[in-house]
Structure 1
């Protein structure tokens, strides 16, 4: 039987699926219905696949369904397809499918139990409201993201994957984001007509929230850049992937929302750092070229793109990334942390004050918006401050558990390339909480994916007990060879 996700990941069909998603993004600028029809046909067929494949493969397929269809959230928002494709589609998919995956997987890990603890600790703050103004929508808006993080960590930590499978997930993750890129490019007016100021730009973000679009495009930059470094074709052609990287970068920069793009660049540098730790034998086993030869051309490409974007904006882009505002340029306002962070630092400090006044259990989910002084009515933008203000000490514990998950991911990854990818995914999702809270599916999804186990935990523990570092590296190379010999997909084209 035809398996949708096997086709989606096959290298010889990369260009076909690339074109399909380009057309989805283009058609969505005219009508949302082609995208809606495709979404439900593909989703329905994927569930048919779920009941026809081997039971042992079902948890992995559920993960791929989550990754791919949650990624349609951004395109759905841009195309205004709600309620056919719900505004918070990614959160609903994660919340309903992760528990199903947990039931089917029946594999419990220490990281999974951390996800369960996060879920339990998030509940008390739902039961009271110090502001007496919180609505059901407030609770849903602020709590679903946190619940998603818990269930995503729990479910994805049950999966034991080959490194090749993890890398192949870049396609279902980025294809819908390519549709977003095409949508924003088409919807962007003639750049000569766009007035660039020192604030977020909605015109270059497809008419939607530039912060969220920047976060999505930043993820696209990361996925395409890492695919190039690993000699993996997203579109089927290396030159086309290079063009995609340039388009993602320039469109993301032109949104003038900095957090998503900065996060994407940081994640790329993390992967590059860990790639430098690969031995020659490991690179040969993975058929990964010496990535150092890509540094200069990729660096030149990004420099040219950034300079072109700065020229297009009349020099405003560079000033924006330097934290300048109209007020700081004219001298009517002082350049400080609050100006640089677009009021986020002051909102953060007001949330800290709420925490100090309600340290035990916080003010209740959604109540911080109504209880600040100067920034009353502003939705939280930093998940850390929202957690401590609305959940009190339990929120502080939850945030601490995020850090624990990071170190567990770092400690259990079997070798450099796996460690680099998993850490980068976690950081990209985690950093998004400091400028977008949990507004998008990206934070729970990426933090969840970062918890997968590359190889089985038992094999790693056994290897660590019996072998020294030198022999451990040899075993890692052998594992690489086994992975690349797998016939499911020829990873590097």
Structure 2
């Protein structure tokens, strides 16, 4: 079945873009508004999830999860969230509300086992973590991401959505990235004034962690590419989305954190490869034109980035220091951290060394907190053999699901984002968890979806009539 480029456009798309550009200005000039906005949006989605008719509840849940996932780093950098992990907790809350109202698909039971397999590491940690650490905080830090993934995967498994709904969900991922891009331009309009060598630069990342900012912008880049290829029917919209994409790409590059940019390239490649493979000959011509515009925009963004960083960004991506000397480790220390995690696995292969014990060991050894950057290594060291089972569930289950559900053209892109992100940034943000879960959605044609909804409505009316008659 060939994908279709949508010719329709929600009337509020332009308004939403303008609103989120304005939001970036507001957050910069009055940062305290960020917390108020967080609370307003949180209440908005909770109320709507409760009050929406049954047919629209699931989509409202997905939009809420997508929006808070896209906005997570923005809220962190502007101190807007009610807690550091607030977006993950809200994704979990929204998905649990969905389970309450809409139930679960029994075929997703491996993710229930996955959640159970996380528990022993907490019990082990109760006996292995150092006395001086905050047990609750440390456990929440390392397990909030995996729990978020498990809950989201349980709810999303074979949940029916249409391509139009999925495009709206991806749009909600992109909107906060537009606000973040605006905020970054205001926070640091002159890149040249804040250069500090060919290393990750917090001053160019809104004063926040470059790795997380780069990842969030990379997610926004992917969402804007989807918008460009799938829902830009007019020249005006193509130009608008290319400008937004170019601005995001530039700000992602100049964070000097390569992980988010590389992840975006991989994810966009997976999406375009799937799209082109399933496209008709007529649609492939349109894809080629859009791809040319994408390459032109990306090339321009790189040229501007190179100019603004005085060539330091070229050295960064060539794995050189500011003097042009080749660095020995392209992973910037991540390989060493991964080796330490493997040593932790070998020292306690059955149940692992316990949740958060990897970071705890580094505090004891080096005196500094160095959290894991690789979720695979952390699962092995902190969960032992159970970690191997967890990894097998996470990889095998979606592949098995894909064999019978091939209409989700974003499946490989979503999985690629999850895998690329957990290997350079762990699960510090909710994005890899949510996009993994979205890969498990069952995308159906509009007519099938409407028929399903109508069938459920009639069954409910029939049931109500029977009760009244009795």
TM class by shorter chain equals 0.7 to 0.9
Structure 1 pair 236/120, CA: closer, same or farther in 2 (3 Å)? Answer: farther
Alignment correspondent of 2:260 = 260
Alignment correspondent of 1:413 = 405
Alignment correspondent of 1:153 = 153
Alignment correspondent of 2:394 = 402
Alignment correspondent of 1:488 = none
Alignment correspondent of 2:11 = 12
Alignment correspondent of 2:31 = 32
Structure 1 pair 296/359, CA: closer, same or farther in 2 (3 Å)? Answer: same
Q: Is 1:67 matched up with 2:56?
A: no
- Tell me how far apart the structure 2 counterparts of residues 235 and 375 of structure 1 sit (CA, whole Å): 56
1:252-331 matches, cutoff 5 A: 252-280=252-280, 290-325=286-321, 329-330=324-325
Q: 5+ residue gaps in structure 2? A: 1-7, 451-470
- Tell me how far apart the structure 2 counterparts of residues 225 and 242 of structure 1 sit (CA, whole Å): 8
Alignment correspondent of 1:470 = none
Alignment correspondent of 1:183 = 183
C-alpha offsets along residues 386-407 of structure 1, whole Å, 9 cap, x if unaligned? 1111111111211121111341
Structure 1 pair 315/234, CA: closer, same or farther in 2 (3 Å)? Answer: farther
- Tell me how far apart the structure 1 counterparts of residues 233 and 117 of structure 2 sit (CA, whole Å): 42
Secondary structure of 2:18's match?
Answer: helix
- Tell me how far apart the structure 2 counterparts of residues 45 and 389 of structure 1 sit (CA, whole Å): 40
Q: TM-score, normalised by structure 2?
A: 0.87
Structure 1 pair 32/268, CA: closer, same or farther in 2 (3 Å)? Answer: same
Q: Does the CA-based 8 Å contact 1:75-1:176 persist in structure 2?
A: yes
Secondary structure of 2:29's match?
Answer: coil
1:314-393 matches, cutoff 5 A: 314-325=310-321, 329-330=324-325, 335-336=327-328, 339-372=329-362, 373=365, 377-393=369-385
Alignment correspondent of 2:101 = 104
Question: After the TM superposition, which of the residue ranges 297-306 and 374-383 deviates more from structure 2?
Answer: 374-383
- Tell me how far apart the structure 2 counterparts of residues 58 and 158 of structure 1 sit (CA, whole Å): 16
- Tell me how far apart the structure 2 counterparts of residues 289 and 87 of structure 1 sit (CA, whole Å): 45
- Tell me how far apart the structure 1 counterparts of residues 447 and 366 of structure 2 sit (CA, whole Å): 59
Structure 1 residue 188: Cα displacement: 1.1
Secondary structure of 2:273's match?
Answer: helix
Q: Does the CA-based 8 Å contact 2:59-2:165 persist in structure 1?
A: no
Alignment correspondent of 1:424 = 413
- Tell me how far apart the structure 2 counterparts of residues 234 and 220 of structure 1 sit (CA, whole Å): 21
Structure 1 residue 197: Cα displacement: 1.1
Q: Does the CA-based 8 Å contact 2:210-2:255 persist in structure 1?
A: yes
- Tell me how far apart the structure 2 counterparts of residues 203 and 312 of structure 1 sit (CA, whole Å): 14
Secondary structure of 1:208's match?
Answer: coil
1:121-136 matches, cutoff 5 A: 121-129=117-125, 130-133=128-131, 134-135=133-134, 136=136
Structure 1 residue 202: Cα displacement: 1.0
Structure 1 residue 87: Cα displacement: 1.7
C-alpha offsets along residues 397-450 of structure 1, whole Å, 9 cap, x if unaligned? 1112111134135323334xx23x121012112211111111111111111111
- Tell me how far apart the structure 1 counterparts of residues 404 and 225 of structure 2 sit (CA, whole Å): 25
- Tell me how far apart the structure 2 counterparts of residues 268 and 375 of structure 1 sit (CA, whole Å): 39
Structure 1 residue 235: Cα displacement: 12
- Tell me how far apart the structure 2 counterparts of residues 127 and 278 of structure 1 sit (CA, whole Å): 48
Structure 1 pair 190/279, CA: closer, same or farther in 2 (3 Å)? Answer: closer
Alignment correspondent of 1:462 = none
Structure 1 residue 97: Cα displacement: 2.0
Equivalent residue for 1:451, pick from 436, 440, 452: 440
- Tell me how far apart the structure 1 counterparts of residues 192 and 183 of structure 2 sit (CA, whole Å): 19
- Tell me how far apart the structure 2 counterparts of residues 261 and 224 of structure 1 sit (CA, whole Å): 14
- Tell me how far apart the structure 2 counterparts of residues 232 and 73 of structure 1 sit (CA, whole Å): 26
- Tell me how far apart the structure 2 counterparts of residues 358 and 10 of structure 1 sit (CA, whole Å): 55
Secondary structure of 2:355's match?
Answer: coil
Alignment correspondent of 2:240 = 240
Structure 1 pair 14/398, CA: closer, same or farther in 2 (3 Å)? Answer: same
Structure 1 residue 250: Cα displacement: 0.6
Q: Is 1:23 matched up with 2:15?
A: no
The alignment of Structure 1 onto Structure 2 pairs a total of residues equal to 439
Secondary structure of 2:51's match?
Answer: coil
C-alpha offsets along residues 174-207 of structure 1, whole Å, 9 cap, x if unaligned? 1112111111111014223122412101121111
- Tell me how far apart the structure 1 counterparts of residues 169 and 420 of structure 2 sit (CA, whole Å): 21
